[in-house]
Structure 1
Amino acid sequence: MQTTGDSTSVFAPGVRLLTIGLVSIVTLVAFESMAVATVMPLVEDDLGDLWLYGWVFTAFFLGNLVGAVIAGSAADRMRPAIPFAAGLLLFSAGLVVGGAASSMGMLVAGRVLQGVGAGAMPAISYVCIGRGYRPESRARMFALMSSAWVVPSVAGPALAGVIGATVGWRWVFLGLLPLCGVIGLIALLGVRTIETSHETAAASNVMRALQVALGAGLLLAGLQTSAPFVAVPVVLIGVLVLIPAFRSLTPEGTLRARPGLAATVLVRGLLGFAFFAADAYVPFAITTVRGLSATIGGLALTTATFTWTIASWLQARWVDRTGPRRLIVAGLLVIAGGSLSMLAVLVPAIPAWIGLGSWAIAGFGIGLAYAPLSLVTLAVAPKGEEGRATAGLQLSDMLGTALGTGVAGAVLTIAVRTFDSERVGLLAVFLISAAVALLGARLAHRVPARIHQT
């Protein structure tokens, strides 16, 4: 392992700049995530095309998985600062396209660029944590990165709601460009301290990552197609394209949830599916269906991110004592409870603001489960292949999230088309989220109960 200092503190002189850089870039991505999710109901009112609402999120996460695999593979061959800088540039370009979008389709294209960039930067961050920090410091670093969401989660929705209601939703994208320049420079100064791995790198997986994204895109496009004679073959082709590529990019036995690293990677995907399938539509339920403001809808995301951060800090204190498995199982069960409690928001007689507390429950759940899965992956990854292992984890994470938001969008579209009811669609979305969380909790028993950090 390539560490830059002897102290276990994440702010020790040898890693201080790296810590500041990684936390800063998480803050940037967090502001973007919270702001865009908050103003999406306003965007849909302006641009129309409700059937593409879910694709705004799905495109971002499909881009994420491509960026994560490409950057993780590149980090095993060159200095991590190079793919990190490329990701930052693509993220910035996506903001420009999104801010200038004249249609929902153009916005989706911009979100692909943002996604590739945003996928590359966390993958490189994981590599930097694996190479730059002592094992006993990694849990604290993951917790610190999670805490970087606090300020964006508090200020982001309110600020985005005000911007969207005054100067327009486009400035939610364009207004982040100056931050990209300042924060990007700080982050690059820290990441450049991490050197290339001296171990032999595995083969490049760029084409397979593109194959995964293509397969997932076809699968989700087929699900939203109204004509069965078109939908069925498109879905089948998507599955046939997706599965072989996914299997080649993840540990052997991932789809079978083989105990150990493979199960860890699969559960990460189910975690992303369960949480974000509902998360993408929480503001929609509160704003569009129940008629509250975009700011209130965004506050539901704020409460969830706040409890996510609290749980992340708690798991850092508990993981050595309880082991990762218990935290992961508990977190998934809590997410299921949060998704089910969101059903109350759909009842006209119940105040819509109850959604703020309901989704806070789910936020606490993902905070408990998320970082322990990362710790297990770093602990059991083959030496010199931290980039490939973490890229596989990120791939499963982003694919699960993309499929979750995409399936939720397809379900909502079908409900509106069939029943002319957004409530029916959201009912199905929250039930699917809870079901996948319960499945993840069951399979999480195959994640290592303890980890031995070396």
Structure 2
Amino acid sequence: MAGAPTGRAAAAGVWAPERRALTFGLLLTVTLVAFESLSVATIMPLVGRELDGLTLYGWVFSAFFLGDLIGIVAAGSQADRGSLVRPFLLGLGLFAVGLVIDGLAPSMAVLVLGRSIQGFGAGAVPTVAYVAIGRRYPDAIRPVMFASLSSAWVVPGLAGPAVAGLVADHATWRYVFLGLLPLVGVAMALTTPALRDPGSVTSIRARADALEPLWRRLVPAIRVAAGAALVLGALTARDLLSVGLGLGGLAIGLPALRRLVPPGTLRAARGLPTVILLRGVATFGFFGAEAFLPLTLVSVRGASATEAGLALTAATLTWTAGSWIQARLMPSWGAARLIRAGLVGVTLGVMGVATVLASAVPVEVGVAAWGLAGFGMGLAYSPISLTVIRDAAVGEEGSATSAMQLCDVLGTALGTGLGGAIVAAGIALAIEPQQYLAVAFTISVAAAAFGLALTPRMQRAATALPAA
């Protein structure tokens, strides 16, 4: 398309002098969160055994993402009122507190508590990044900036799982959490100055009085998290009480969720609501499988934590490759086609991972399949974000991106939580790991396939994205 920037010109725009410090700061912060995320997934089989808490395995992930959900909404509301500095500093501060609790946890229950606090703080990172991109980067270079954010996962993807596995195998998993604390301080010191933008803050504060108070969005977010926790608790329980917990969770969470997302999102209304819903469906399918890939390789196939980490590395690299490819293909393919192709990759990739439960299938097949799933997420993830940012009203970027991230995190929490409930039930019933893990992977495949079936309904929002 005429006027579309070349890859080199767009990249130069991302690193232009007026944006260089901000670009570096955002990439540094995302790198920190990425390292933690991949490291925890790698060491969890060992942590669960040492703390005798495999029945809470899924909750370690779900608690993080339920806390993340609340943090996203809080950070988004604060961002709409002016500076991004306050939510950024508060978020990383709570992230550090969670790391300390995790590293010193005497039991799995305390670890779950620390992860929830850590998640609350981490919720500020994607919200601040997306709002900063919406305010400070021109339309033409946003796809490249999103691809750059995906690239920030490369070094953690290469080093994080391997380093975490080595530390856990030869020292203690506790150092994986505590060793990240100095990096949090560095990220704070280097990123905060770049986030200051007095001109943007002044214009946004002029509209702040028209926005609803923070508590009106934060209370529903807490209700959504509480409702999701009750539903997940009901799935774990195995008595009549579980029915009441599940119904109570739905009654608390669903009405609140409707307040936090665009009208029609939960029924997949055509256009932007479907695009936002697809983010949650995609993360349900992908991360619901990722959480149990290391457990499959370690507990079923006898691999070490270091070897299991290599599978996560494969997906990190292919996700990044997919993200850069989508930035190049966006002018010719458009968002809808990229999202559709990405969900095909996720569906086929998770199906391939499930085959590793059979001892006759080489572990390398699972690694390759997980790489395909990561490539699919790389193709689909950024186009969804770009669509939401372009459609957000000026001064309401925080609310729009927080709705998208809310679905993102809720999908991850429910995907990992439901899988964790299946694992807990399988252990309680003395079922072979291959059997209950097969059920968990099947649910992830079904979620990804459901997302693929929804893609025809996103056409209106996707066509709102011109070639960039």
TM-score (structure 1 length as normaliser): 0.96
Measured after TM superposition, the shift of residue 416 of structure 1 is: 2.7
Whichever residue aligns with residue 207 of structure 2, its letter is: E
* Structure 1 position 450 matched with structure 2 position 463: yes
Q: What residue is the counterpart of 2:226 in the other structure?
A: 214
Counterpart of 2:386 (choices 360, 363, 375) is: 375
Whichever residue aligns with residue 14 of structure 2, its letter is: V
Measured after TM superposition, the shift of residue 417 of structure 1 is: 2.5
* Structure 1 position 393 matched with structure 2 position 404: yes
Q: What residue is the counterpart of 1:18 in the other structure?
A: 22
Measured after TM superposition, the shift of residue 188 of structure 1 is: 1.2
Give 1:111-122 correspondences, 5 Å limit.
Answer: 111-122=115-126
**Superimposed CA distance per residue, residues 236-269 of structure 1 (whole angstroms, 9 cap, x where no aligned partner):** 1001111111100000000111112111111111
Q: What residue is the counterpart of 1:199 in the other structure?
A: 207
Bigger Cα displacement from structure 2, 440-449 vs 148-157: 440-449
Measured after TM superposition, the shift of residue 355 of structure 1 is: 1.7
* Structure 1 position 184 matched with structure 2 position 188: yes
Conserved 8 A contact 1:10-1:141: yes
Q: Distance in 2 between matches of 1:124 and 1:331?
A: 25
Q: Distance in 1 between matches of 2:207 and 2:131?
A: 14
Measured after TM superposition, the shift of residue 381 of structure 1 is: 1.1
Conserved 8 A contact 2:323-2:379: yes
Conserved 8 A contact 1:98-1:110: yes
Give 1:415-454 correspondences, 5 Å limit.
Answer: 415-447=426-458, 448-452=461-465
Q: What residue is the counterpart of 1:284 in the other structure?
A: 295
* Structure 1 position 328 matched with structure 2 position 362: no
**Superimposed CA distance per residue, residues 310-354 of structure 1 (whole angstroms, 9 cap, x where no aligned partner):** 000000111121111111111111111011111221011222232
2:41 counterpart SS class: helix
**Superimposed CA distance per residue, residues 60-88 of structure 1 (whole angstroms, 9 cap, x where no aligned partner):** 11111111000000111131111110001
Bigger Cα displacement from structure 2, 146-155 vs 254-263: 254-263
Judging changes above 3 Å, is the alpha-carbon distance between structure 1 residues 399 and 7 closer, same or farther for their aligned structure 2 residues? closer
Q: What residue is the counterpart of 1:69 in the other structure?
A: 73
Bigger Cα displacement from structure 2, 170-179 vs 330-339: 330-339
Aligned-pair Cα RMSD in Å: 1.5
Q: What residue is the counterpart of 2:255 in the other structure?
A: 244
Give 1:333-412 correspondences, 5 Å limit.
Answer: 333-412=344-423
Conserved 8 A contact 1:323-1:451: no
Conserved 8 A contact 2:387-2:462: no
Q: Distance in 1 between matches of 2:194 and 2:462?
A: 33
Q: How many residues align?
A: 448
Conserved 8 A contact 2:294-2:308: yes
* Structure 1 position 150 matched with structure 2 position 159: no
* Structure 1 position 104 matched with structure 2 position 108: yes
Q: What residue is the counterpart of 2:134 in the other structure?
A: 130
Q: Structure 1: state its 5+ residue gaps.
A: 1-5
* Structure 1 position 160 matched with structure 2 position 159: no
Whichever residue aligns with residue 234 of structure 2, its letter is: G
Whichever residue aligns with residue 194 of structure 2, its letter is: G
Q: What residue is the counterpart of 2:3 in the other structure?
A: none
Conserved 8 A contact 1:69-1:388: yes
Q: Distance in 2 between matches of 1:19 and 1:266?
A: 28
Measured after TM superposition, the shift of residue 7 of structure 1 is: 9.9
Conserved 8 A contact 1:8-1:137: no
Q: What residue is the counterpart of 2:6 in the other structure?
A: none
Measured after TM superposition, the shift of residue 384 of structure 1 is: 1.5
1:350 counterpart SS class: coil
Sequence identity of aligned pairs in percent? 48
Conserved 8 A contact 2:11-2:144: no
Q: Distance in 1 between matches of 2:303 and 2:365?
A: 12
Q: Distance in 2 between matches of 1:449 and 1:216?
A: 30
Conserved 8 A contact 2:56-2:424: no
Bigger Cα displacement from structure 2, 418-427 vs 149-158: 418-427
**Superimposed CA distance per residue, residues 211-230 of structure 1 (whole angstroms, 9 cap, x where no aligned partner):** 11000000000110011x11
Conserved 8 A contact 1:18-1:193: no
Q: What residue is the counterpart of 1:41 in the other structure?
A: 45
Conserved 8 A contact 2:271-2:462: no
* Structure 1 position 90 matched with structure 2 position 101: no
Q: Distance in 2 between matches of 1:330 and 1:415?
A: 34
Counterpart of 1:317 (choices 328, 331, 337) is: 328
* Structure 1 position 225 matched with structure 2 position 237: yes
2:363 counterpart SS class: coil
Conserved 8 A contact 1:21-1:189: no
Q: Structure 2: state its 5+ residue gaps.
A: 1-9
Whichever residue aligns with residue 12 of structure 1, its letter is: A
Conserved 8 A contact 1:307-1:360: yes
Conserved 8 A contact 2:63-2:115: yes
1:396 counterpart SS class: helix
Whichever residue aligns with residue 415 of structure 1, its letter is: G
